[in-house]
Structure 1
């Protein structure tokens, strides 16, 4: 705080306690105005924070500002709501003392915004756990809901709180929020049915009509036109440019989800809100002194929304049931009483709905941690002192509340001052101040106070009226100096004061009250019929807030003012048990304009907030106090003995300092831990001396700094030169060492690589392996095998084995492909036949290997067979057939095995057997009738052609000895493309078909000489294979 004292002429002092002329209202206002013009909206009176509404957004509440004030000493930083909140929070956390922050001021001064900033700071300062964030979200989320149902636009404030609110925030032992609780006071329920000119009803009505979708409005039987509803059209137009009802409606819905209002609860809640609007549209006419309902549709809508019987509800609006000691009498209502009953129901329903909503929020905010004591910070957002042109019952209650809080404030302030003086060992001085206890007693004293007289008049038999109540006040209180009747007032006051009014001399000023409506509002009467209807509704909320037990209770209900007095006394008891902090909110003008400061309006609020009285109490002692260490740390430069540091205790240092500054004995006192300075001028002189001393200190610091910098620069350069030399030497030595090391590595790698060049690849032998690969590839390119028959392939290094194998395979495949491409069609066919022969006979017939080297021919005819060939082609071969193969063969008769020289000819379609002598055709059969071509696995050339036995001409199997057996059979199978007809038999004997289905046998034996003959002993054909 002290750091800004030298600018006090421009921006004023941060703490009004430091005002030299603290008795002057002009100096007080002038200081506030200076700060307001510089957007410094916060000012202290000791530890009381004054907040002036700027009517514009200031960038003094962002995250950086929150972090700046977290954990900072109260007087170290400029005045701010965050500073006050942080002090209260740290006192709670470190000292385990419950706190409360009391916010007061008139409507439009920024009380609600101040409470929001307190919640914002607490949420930001504790936002590090998911569970804590959920609690913070609920605490902050309760505001939009309460504002929607409890705030309204007035001529002074677009978002005026029309109820008092006290919120307890509960903290665990770690200082984290774990829950909360809300108490509400004196909701202005009369606003439901009537608003002054230019004002609106509660926000929720307009938000619902503007923000709800068409389907929801249809279910609630509502229309968007505000003029449709009587309760919304008797004040002003509902729409205003400064309020976005659609946006606010959706914010309220989101907040309801945050505080865990169930969907059914929301439906019932909005059903009640809609029903209140419909109640205003229930009009009445009068016939023979009896009220009649004009708009039954509105009654139907109410009954449907609340879940009650339509006829019973209509009857309750137009008649009254009276139970007089067991005698039940039904009395019809006239139009005036019916309207009263309707409005009373609307106010009662809305008032109880608001109380239910507060209780429901409390259930959501309830701590879920272990039961027991939690640390608490309470926030009281209460109505400020109200003085209107016409002041009624509500203003009387509000101003009574402010009197009680002012009394509490004075008591706690004086108590705090006295405790600090005692703690520090400072002599306590008696302080004269106005004690408003006399006004509180005037209002609430039992049997003698205004409240007692009001209740007495409300409850007495007969026909009491507001004027009879006024007469009673005038009779009993006429001698009280703070009560002024019309008769007692001076002539000037009588001109402005009606005969139905009385005046109270409050601590904040004189207020004239009009008694009209006092009895009605205090009785708060709701006819039994309507209460009974509401208690039987199906709507869960109305059923809960209208308890059936209340109908049967014989106990007279408390009046409204008594209820308020009791709740106010409970609130005072709560606050007395906590360490208080205060925020006094002031509005700078009546037009909600930024930058405009109206001295008259501000002075009026200063008076009724008791700020001058507060300042006078604070200044009755000492204007300034600081712990010794802080005071010495700031001003030690003013004394040579304490500069730059004092070696002893800070208490002695401060004493040495004030002696050097020549403080007079009446200007200060030394406490146990703090120095107390009585006059602001003493502090200002000290601060001015400090500001002037700054130049000398700056010169000393500069000279020392420059010398130190030069010395530092010299040492730096010297060290740099040494370091550079060191690194150059090191670099050169390292360069030589690296060169030697590199040479060693190269030589070692060369030797190791050479030794392991034929081993697996490594980093060491990689170069040798690459060299070996290159050389091998060069050698290989010059020494490739010339053809496929060559099995030669050059040796390769170890590392090229896989590549060598792959190249060998690729090269052979390439040679093979090259050879194939160069083959003629004849040679290609020759290869195909050779491959077929290999498939048929390899490893199956012993003579196959001998036939491999012979080239397969299409004909085996010598010159001696030329005539036979020509004859066959000319006379036997059918047209369209060509000789595919021909060879001489020996045929064995099927009876007796006599050998016959024959020629075997194969065409595309048939097999021909020609007699070599007669040139006659002996056999012809197509390939289709051949059953099997049977050969043995031995080296013989015997071929058995099995044919069907039912052929007329060719009867029995053909037995042929074919010189080129492998070639002939391969040709036959190539022509038929049916390798399945070949049967290679590995047996010692083989049977064959003879004439007439008989069978013959062929035996196979091994011998020195190959021969085929008939065995005369058994008649078998004997085939001898050469071993």
Structure 2
């Protein structure tokens, strides 16, 4: 139980609710938010409400209050969960992870920042330089992977990337940012944002930062002007009102790169690549017969200059595709549509390679060198996973499909691991385990990822077919193979459902609610083919940084290569790898909730919050966590708190063991039918018993104080 806050603030742990109902959960959530308590436990899970204001609860004094304390000893806080993960890692030499989830605008990125600050601070307070580098890394990556969404002004769109704090035996601190998952998901949601955005959204901050923050001399050298509306890829977001100061953010990112250890020429290469993407978007194609020609050749020369290659080679890669047929090599000229597709695929790929290079470079710079396990002990890590939340838009496409599949996988893992932790504790303590009813979303995960039968398999089959395959044909295949699935529907399968369009929409009944997806673009987005010509072009760049980003470009034209995996297959594989990775660690969770859409520090929108509680599965989490017992504590710590309420245990007991003393205390108050005795812990079934114990404790504390004052 968290440190006893007054009940005027509500219950600090949802597990202690009298009845597990949505109405009681929401009432407690609202009360705590309105009283300024933004954190609440569900056992070892922290529910975090975005306060939409600065709170003075993250300073050094607060860090000291949580450092080394048990989870229940202090009020709910991100620092409590961070310290618990750190102690588990140090005490048991076990890798741990903190999974932060919630929708856009719920405060995930801030939560991950505070958690990393805390871990960095308690690991080795003297390593201030490493802490500065850690925070600089967060700033730099945020500029590269965040964009203004319709929900908030800085949403992470990189997909799930993992920041790993390596906390090693002697208190050394290192940090690794894992790009493995990003390598796979980069072709899905994030890079589509390079070339197109939904209404009300901006592209990645890095583009606007360069235009607004770069000096006049720098912009001239990059052939850029400050007006974002001049660039086709980002002009839709140029007119949006945004409170972000792009000029100031540009300086922050530039300073961060220097702190991290980037060389000046490497920083210049980053700017050149970002500029080249902007110019690519302004390339115009027209038709000459059946083939494409470039209208504005000057832009080609600018792109070639920025990418350190020749203009004629850039033009050839844009207009032709080199095809090997046996020993013969031919140049197949593109149509206007093919040239446009190739240009956009190239722009997305350049940005993806840039991000992955930055991640790899950061890791090489900050890696702890010459680490000796015989001296420092086992190298254990805390993984901090900031995962994008469930998405339901007016128009949901391939990107939302992948994101929501990711959330299904993580929800499944979450429930499984919480159940597993409960079962393991019961087994350790010798307490009988009883079956718990909960919704198992395995059926939805299978709908998406099952071999040969799932949506991804059906989509890949469609993409592998020879000949013209349309999105409508893909939807027809879904109808034929999934028509009887309880969590799948379409207009053809349900002709009276006018919320679905014929030959366009299908619906998945997700654990978080129903989502209608439009198949438009599914085939092209899943293929997302980047022609080998562009890879060779970049590999032969005279810029060594660019060259290292495209190693496969060294393959000869006639060299046979395997067909690349589709975007969905890559994403599926990365999700399976992520789940396996997380399952091997001891998990801790932060569930973030957005109280309103107006960014008001006072407003609690009931339905808005209820929806998030439902799709985060929080009520399910409470049911599983209680598992018959709302509270458990070791005998020694239980006695330390409550021994003054029994004559048999105050001030000390003479019974054979602490367990016997606790048993005597419980029996003298008549609670014996509401508890179970484990090997090292007492388990209390209902919150009412615990609250009664707390009331007795509070009353006795007053009496003791009065007695001491008289003495």
Give the TM-score of the pair, scaled to structure 2: 0.94
| Structure 2 residue 168 is matched with structure 1 residue 172 | yes
How many angstroms does 1:107 deviate by?
Answer: 0.9
How many angstroms does 1:123 deviate by?
Answer: 1.8
Tell me which of 566, 578, 598 is aligned to 1:571: 578
Tell me which of 382, 407, 417 is aligned to 2:412: 407
Q: In the aligned structure 1, how far is the partner of 2:191 from the partner of 2:335?
A: 24
Q: In the aligned structure 1, how far is the partner of 2:136 from the partner of 2:702?
A: 53
| Structure 2 residue 152 is matched with structure 1 residue 145 | no
Q: In the aligned structure 1, how far is the partner of 2:245 from the partner of 2:60?
A: 26
Q: In the aligned structure 1, how far is the partner of 2:687 from the partner of 2:290?
A: 75
- 1:798-834 deviation line (CA, Å, top 9, x unaligned): xxxxxxxxxxxxxxxxxxxxxxxxxxxxxxxxxxxxx
How many angstroms does 1:289 deviate by?
Answer: 3.3
Q: In the aligned structure 2, how far is the partner of 1:168 from the partner of 1:405?
A: 18
1:529 matched residue in structure 2: 533
How many angstroms does 1:549 deviate by?
Answer: 4.0
Q: How does 1:100-139 map to 2 (within 5 A)?
A: 100-129=97-126, 132-139=127-134
2:523 matched residue in structure 1: 519
2:212 matched residue in structure 1: 210
- 1:912-939 deviation line (CA, Å, top 9, x unaligned): xxxxxxxxxxxxxxxxxxxxxxxxxxxx
- 1:887-936 deviation line (CA, Å, top 9, x unaligned): xxxxxxxxxxxxxxxxxxxxxxxxxxxxxxxxxxxxxxxxxxxxxxxxxx
How many angstroms does 1:498 deviate by?
Answer: 4.7
Q: In the aligned structure 2, how far is the partner of 1:309 from the partner of 1:238?
A: 37
- 1:319-363 deviation line (CA, Å, top 9, x unaligned): 333334444443333333322222111111111111111111121
- 1:769-826 deviation line (CA, Å, top 9, x unaligned): xxxxxxxxxxxxxxxxxxxxxxxxxxxxxxxxxxxxxxxxxxxxxxxxxxxxxxxxxx
1:600 matched residue in structure 2: 607
Q: In the aligned structure 1, how far is the partner of 2:309 from the partner of 2:151?
A: 40
Indicate conservation of the 8 Å contact 2:162/2:384, yes or no: yes
1:17 matched residue in structure 2: 15
Distance 1:643 1:42, change over 3 A: same
Tell me which of 518, 534, 545 is aligned to 1:541: 545
How many angstroms does 1:278 deviate by?
Answer: 0.5
2:156 matched residue in structure 1: 161
Q: In the aligned structure 1, how far is the partner of 2:515 from the partner of 2:239?
A: 31
Task: Count how many residue pairs are aligned between Structure 1 and Structure 2.
Answer: 696
- Stretch of structure 1 that moved more, 587-596 or 48-57: 587-596
How many angstroms does 1:272 deviate by?
Answer: 0.6
1:471 matched residue in structure 2: 476
SS of alignment partner, residue 612 of structure 1: helix
Q: In the aligned structure 1, how far is the partner of 2:317 from the partner of 2:546?
A: 16
2:709 matched residue in structure 1: 702
1:65 matched residue in structure 2: 62
Q: In the aligned structure 2, how far is the partner of 1:542 from the partner of 1:345?
A: 14
2:621 matched residue in structure 1: 614
1:448 matched residue in structure 2: 453
Indicate conservation of the 8 Å contact 2:40/2:46, yes or no: yes
1:930 matched residue in structure 2: none
- 1:210-240 deviation line (CA, Å, top 9, x unaligned): 1111111111111112222111212342662
| Structure 2 residue 629 is matched with structure 1 residue 629 | no
1:271 matched residue in structure 2: 272
Distance 1:523 1:514, change over 3 A: same
Q: In the aligned structure 2, how far is the partner of 1:465 from the partner of 1:490?
A: 22
Q: Relative contact order: is structure 1 or structure 2 higher (C-alpha 8 Å, sep ≥ 6)?
A: 2
Q: How does 1:477-496 map to 2 (within 5 A)?
A: 477-489=482-494, 491=496, 493-496=497-500
Q: How does 1:181-260 map to 2 (within 5 A)?
A: 181-183=177-179, 184-185=181-182, 186-187=185-186, 188-237=190-239, 240=242, 242-260=243-261
How many angstroms does 1:496 deviate by?
Answer: 4.3
1:349 matched residue in structure 2: 350
Indicate conservation of the 8 Å contact 2:211/2:224, yes or no: yes
How many angstroms does 1:404 deviate by?
Answer: 1.2
| Structure 2 residue 33 is matched with structure 1 residue 36 | yes
- Stretch of structure 1 that moved more, 313-322 or 347-356: 313-322
Q: In the aligned structure 2, how far is the partner of 1:285 from the partner of 1:178?
A: 52
How many angstroms does 1:126 deviate by?
Answer: 2.6
Indicate conservation of the 8 Å contact 1:178/1:369, yes or no: no
Indicate conservation of the 8 Å contact 1:139/1:365, yes or no: no
Q: In the aligned structure 1, how far is the partner of 2:346 from the partner of 2:56?
A: 46
| Structure 2 residue 53 is matched with structure 1 residue 56 | yes
Give the TM-score of the pair, scaled to structure 1: 0.66
Superposed CA RMSD in Å reads 1.9
- 1:84-124 deviation line (CA, Å, top 9, x unaligned): 11111111112211111111111111111111111110121
Distance 1:669 1:537, change over 3 A: same
- 1:35-66 deviation line (CA, Å, top 9, x unaligned): 11122111111101111111111100011101
Q: In the aligned structure 2, how far is the partner of 1:545 from the partner of 1:619?
A: 50
SS of alignment partner, residue 484 of structure 1: strand
In structure 1, the gaps of 5 or more residues are 706-1027
1:869 matched residue in structure 2: none
Q: In the aligned structure 1, how far is the partner of 2:109 from the partner of 2:381?
A: 20
In structure 2, the gaps of 5 or more residues are none
SS of alignment partner, residue 643 of structure 2: helix
| Structure 2 residue 697 is matched with structure 1 residue 690 | yes
Q: How does 1:282-321 map to 2 (within 5 A)?
A: 282-321=283-322
2:71 matched residue in structure 1: 74
Indicate conservation of the 8 Å contact 2:500/2:506, yes or no: no
How many angstroms does 1:375 deviate by?
Answer: 0.9
Distance 1:156 1:125, change over 3 A: same
How many angstroms does 1:303 deviate by?
Answer: 0.5
Indicate conservation of the 8 Å contact 2:200/2:240, yes or no: no
How many angstroms does 1:148 deviate by?
Answer: 0.8
Distance 1:699 1:46, change over 3 A: same
How many angstroms does 1:286 deviate by?
Answer: 2.5
How many angstroms does 1:555 deviate by?
Answer: 0.9
How many angstroms does 1:295 deviate by?
Answer: 2.0
How many angstroms does 1:646 deviate by?
Answer: 2.3
How many angstroms does 1:3 deviate by?
Answer: 4.9
SS of alignment partner, residue 4 of structure 1: coil
SS of alignment partner, residue 468 of structure 2: coil
1:392 matched residue in structure 2: 397
Q: In the aligned structure 2, how far is the partner of 1:63 from the partner of 1:334?
A: 62
How many angstroms does 1:2 deviate by?
Answer: 5.6
- 1:586-639 deviation line (CA, Å, top 9, x unaligned): 111122222211111111111111111111111222101111122222222222
SS of alignment partner, residue 591 of structure 1: coil
Q: In the aligned structure 2, how far is the partner of 1:110 from the partner of 1:144?
A: 16
- 1:958-1008 deviation line (CA, Å, top 9, x unaligned): xxxxxxxxxxxxxxxxxxxxxxxxxxxxxxxxxxxxxxxxxxxxxxxxxxx
| Structure 2 residue 546 is matched with structure 1 residue 508 | no
- Stretch of structure 1 that moved more, 42-51 or 494-503: 494-503
How many angstroms does 1:505 deviate by?
Answer: 1.6
Indicate conservation of the 8 Å contact 1:497/1:512, yes or no: no
1:790 matched residue in structure 2: none
2:565 matched residue in structure 1: 558
- Stretch of structure 1 that moved more, 82-91 or 175-184: 175-184
Q: In the aligned structure 2, how far is the partner of 1:538 from the partner of 1:596?
A: 56
1:586 matched residue in structure 2: 593
SS of alignment partner, residue 258 of structure 1: helix
Indicate conservation of the 8 Å contact 1:534/1:542, yes or no: yes
How many angstroms does 1:451 deviate by?
Answer: 1.2
Larger radius of gyration: 1
SS of alignment partner, residue 591 of structure 2: strand
